[in-house]
Amino acid sequence: MGMNVTTAGELIPERVMREQRDSSLRRTLLFASGAMVLLLASVLVSAVLGAVHISPRAILAALGGNHAALSTAEQMILLQVRLPRIVTAGIIGAALSLAGVLFQGLFRNPMADPYVLGTSGGAAVGAAFGIFLFPATTLLGFSAAASFAFLGSIVTIILVYSLARTGGKTPMVPLLLAGMAVSIILGEASSVLVYLGDEVSFNARNLALWLHGTITAISWPQILLASGMLLAGGILCIPLRPVLDLFALGEEYAQQLGIRIELARAALIIVASLFTAAAVLLGGVISFVGLLVPHIIRLMVGPEHGRLLLLSAICGASYLILADTVARTVHAPSEFPVGIITAFIGAPVLIYLLRRSKREYAL
Amino acid sequence: MNSLLSVHNLSFDYGARPILDEVNFEIARGETVALMGANGAGKTTLLKIFAGLLTPSGGEVCLLGRPLAACSRRELARSIALVPQEVSISVDFTVLQFVRQGRAPYLSFLGIPQNSDRLAVWKAMDLAGVEHLAHRRFNELSGGERQRVKIALALAQEPQLLLLDEPAQHLDIGRQAEIFSVLEKLNQQGITIVAAVHDLESACRHFTQGILLCPGSPPIVGAPPEILTPAAIQAVFDLKASENGHSAFLVKQKEPA
């Protein structure tokens, strides 16, 4: 029997295959460019809105080379206030969404998200400890805060993982309970830090705000550090993409399809923690982004992880840029922590997923 | 004879409970082998050891003379495919997306599929007769369709040895016949098949070899109608000679195949 002849006598020509590959590639590119347009639009909206309204036409003109379209004050606001903030929100949104996709793949559970699992809290406590204990130390070029945030996230995830897993599975309820229990402990630990902070003139109010998720004035070195972490994690996602697809079949299936399961699990935990730490360093504990964004993307493009990761990153960035814009404009000139906005949007999605899980929910 | 898989002094235990004790047998290339035995006799355990999912506590299994322990996971996955009894997938894969996973052991580090991978996937779906289901959701398939889709995934691995754990369980006789005719077709393509089988009648009808796992004594190996003697069945399944199921089977067994 020839290689390309089906039992029905039909051909499976290479041409059909090529068409299929092209159409799937084209679809991915189409989705990605749509998402990029959305991202650029979010950036523009966020640049325009604020205590001072800046005309979008003037911004576009300035981008086109006509710098005179913007006043000096407007240029200063854009470049020194809004732009760093937009970039920060974008990085956090992308990092949290990617962490969500990785955790959901690892736990085989659509509700796994850095906030729900308590890893954001773990990273925050780690970072606070780093700032508190070693304010001036660096490790391999990373500040103590970054290193401890990363460690905090890893420790939390291992704790939740071992608490919630029974017989190779992580059922919904134990996962949520383990995440909640760990979050409570972490919440109290951070409160202790807030109290202690007062005694050693640690900026306790900032810490408290940060633990509730807020994007404030961020320095470029911090942005650079976090974007480096995001980029490193993003690159590691490329080989992890097929691993995540295989995890969806169950660990034993993945194993007999050639995956070294302990290695894969460790890699997923490390990369997801890298994302979580990057997000927490910039914005503290921002809730439900990693839950909401991958869920919507999955509904749009299906469950395969290549597209899911790419689009979750881009759309996650747009989502948080817009959420942050809302946070700083609804009650201007004062601001809400962005974590409140994402909680109001994300919590109903969690409830919805819980309801669906009663009917044997699959991602 | 050309031996594909050889089992030497293989032992396995779950803690204190011994399952396999110094088992020896060989599986020749091109055979269809029915693995039989009572519940808990170690059929699934044996399949999992062959697929590299469990490590034996003693002895070894060789694929074409090479110990499985010396093969990497990916190498194993390119030669041996296991169709598990149950699968629960946590995402809403379509059949095509599901079967594609069978190419995982062939993908490069970056995981980008080539045309040869796409070809293997479609060929596998065609052989298993699930091409028309390509865009259906795996979780919405019937039991028989699911079984054939799992076989398609295994075929996408382009294995020399196909292992199946109770491939016909929970299927009506029509769907069972479909599965066995797919297996027959695969065997004609040169794939060696080892399946854990409960139904002794199917074992006699569809398999060229039988391995009957007996607790406490070496497995009985041979053509299924020959090894399934009343004495062996009585010993292995703890059946009283007067019981109907048993005698009904023995009557059918004497019919020409």
DSSP A166: B
CB contact A23 to B (< 8 Å) = no
B82, B90, B146, B178: which to substitute to probe chain A, counting the most A Cβ within 10 Å?
B90
Question: What is the nearest CA distance from B205 to chain A, expressed in angstroms?
Answer: 24
Most confident among A61-75, A283-297, A344-358 (mean pLDDT): A283-297
Q: Do B111 and A242 touch (CB under 8 A)?
A: yes
Q: Which residues of B touch A245 (CB under 8 A)?
A: 97, 100-101, 104
Residue B224 is assigned to a structural domain of this protein: yes
Q: Does A297 touch chain B (CB under 8 A)?
A: no
A260:B53 CB<8 A: no
Q: Do A14 and B111 touch (CB under 8 A)?
A: no
Buried b (16+ CB within 10 A) or exposed e, B178-190: bbbebbeebbeee
Domain encompassing residue A291: 32-72+82-357
Whichever domain contains B41, its CATH number is: 3.40.50.300
Residues of chain A in contact with residue B82, where contact means CB-CB under 8 angstroms, are 256
Is the ipTM value over 0.95, yes or no?
A: no
Please enumerate in sequence order all residues whose Cβ is within 8 A of that of A331, keeping only pairs 6 or more positions apart, or say none: none
Q: At what angle do helices A172-199 and A119-133 cross, to 10 degrees?
A: 20
Cα-flanking dihedrals φ and ψ of residue A139, to 5°?
-125, 115
Q: Chain-wide mean pLDDT for chain A?
A: 84
CATH for A115: 1.10.3470.10
Residue A111 covered by a domain: yes
Q: What is the pLDDT of residue B231?
A: 85
User: CB distance from A123 to chain B under 8 Å?
Assistant: no
Highest mean pLDDT among A39-53, A127-141, A143-157: A39-53
Gap from B162 CA to chain A (nearest CA, Å): 12
Chain B residues with beta carbon closer than 8 angstroms to that of A306? 111
Choose among A320, A234, A223, A220: nearest CA to A275. A234
Written as six digits, the tokens of A48 are 């325009």
In a domain, B49, yes or no: yes
CB neighbours of A352 closer than 8 A, spacing ≥ 6? Answer: none
Is residue A343 domain-resident?
yes
A4 touches chain B (CB under 8 A): yes
pLDDT tens digit string along B15-57? 888 888 889 999 999 999 999 998 888 999 999 999 999 999 9
The pLDDT tens digits of the residues spanning A321-348 come to 999 999 989 887 778 888 889 999 988 8
pLDDT computed for residue A254 by the predictor: 94
- The percentage of residues in chain A with a pLDDT greater than 70, rounded to a whole number, is 84
**Per the domain annotation, does A9 fall within a domain?**
no
Please give the pLDDT value at position A139. Answer: 55
Give the pair of three-digit tokens for residue A32: 């990605």
Quick: pLDDT tens for A257-284: 999 988 999 999 999 999 999 998 888 8
- Which helix (H) or strand (E) segment holds residue B222: the answer is strand B217-222
pLDDT exceeds cutoff 80 at A5 = no
B157 to A238: CB separation less than 8 angstroms, yes or no: no
Nearest to B92 among A17, A108, A363 (CB): A363
Rounded to a whole number, what is the distance in Å from the CA of A282 to chain B's nearest CA?
30
**Structural domain boundaries, residue B223:** 3-86+159-253
- Over residues A146-155, the pLDDT tens digits come to 888 889 999 9
Put simply, the answer to whether B98 touches A253 (Cβ < 8 Å) is no
pLDDT, residue A273, reads 92
B97 chain-A contacts, CB cut-off 8 A: 245, 302-304
Question: Among candidates B92, B89, B79, which has minimal Cα distance to B154?
Answer: B79
Contacts of residue B52, Cβ cutoff 8 Å, sequence gap at least 6: A255, A256, B68, B71, B73, B76, B80
The DSSP secondary-structure symbol of A78 reads I
Two tokens at B19? Answer: 């399952």
* Contact (Cβ atoms closer than 8 angstroms) between residue A95 and residue A236: no
- Judged by CB atoms closer than 8 Å, whether chains meet at A7 and B189 is answered as no
Query: pLDDT tens digits for A85-102?
Result: 999 999 999 999 999 999
Nearest residue, CB atoms, A12 vs list B72, B84, B123: B123
Q: How far apart are CA B73 and CA A257, in angstroms?
A: 8
**Quick one: A61 exposed, middle or buried, by C-beta within 10 A (0-12, 13-18, 19+)?**
middle
Instruction: Flag whether residue A108 sits within 8 Å of chain B, measured between CB atoms.
Output: yes
B69–chain A nearest CA distance, Å:
14
Minimum-distance CB partner of A257 among B101, B111, B127: B101
Is the model's pLDDT at A189 over the cut of 70?
Answer: yes
**Which residues in chain A are closer than 8 Å to B185, comparing Cβ atoms?**
7
Q: How many independent structural domains does chain B possess? A: 1
- pLDDT value at residue A131: 74
Check CB contact under 8 Å for B84 and A253. Answer: yes
Query: Residues B84, A254: contact at Cβ < 8 Å?
Result: no
A14 assigned to some structural domain: no
A212 touches chain B (CB under 8 A): no
Mean per-residue pLDDT, A178-197: 79
Number of domains in chain A: 1
Chain A positions touching B146 (Cβ under 8 A) are none
pLDDT at position A361 is 43
Instruction: State how far residue A44 is from chain B, nearest Cα, in angstroms.
Output: 34
Contact B101 A303 (CB under 8 A): no
Residues of B in contact with A109 (CB under 8 A): 90
In a domain, A16, yes or no: no
User: Averaged in consecutive runs of 10 residues, what is the pLDDT profile of chain B (257 residues)?
Assistant: 87 86 92 93 94 93 93 95 92 94 92 87 92 93 94 96 93 92 94 94 93 89 91 81 51 48
Q: Which residue has the higher pLDDT, A184 or A296?
A: A296
Q: Which residues of B touch A3 (CB under 8 A)?
A: 119, 123
Tell me if A120 sits within 8 A of A289, measured CB to CB.
Answer: no
Looking at the predicted structure, is the pLDDT value of residue A171 above 80?
A: no
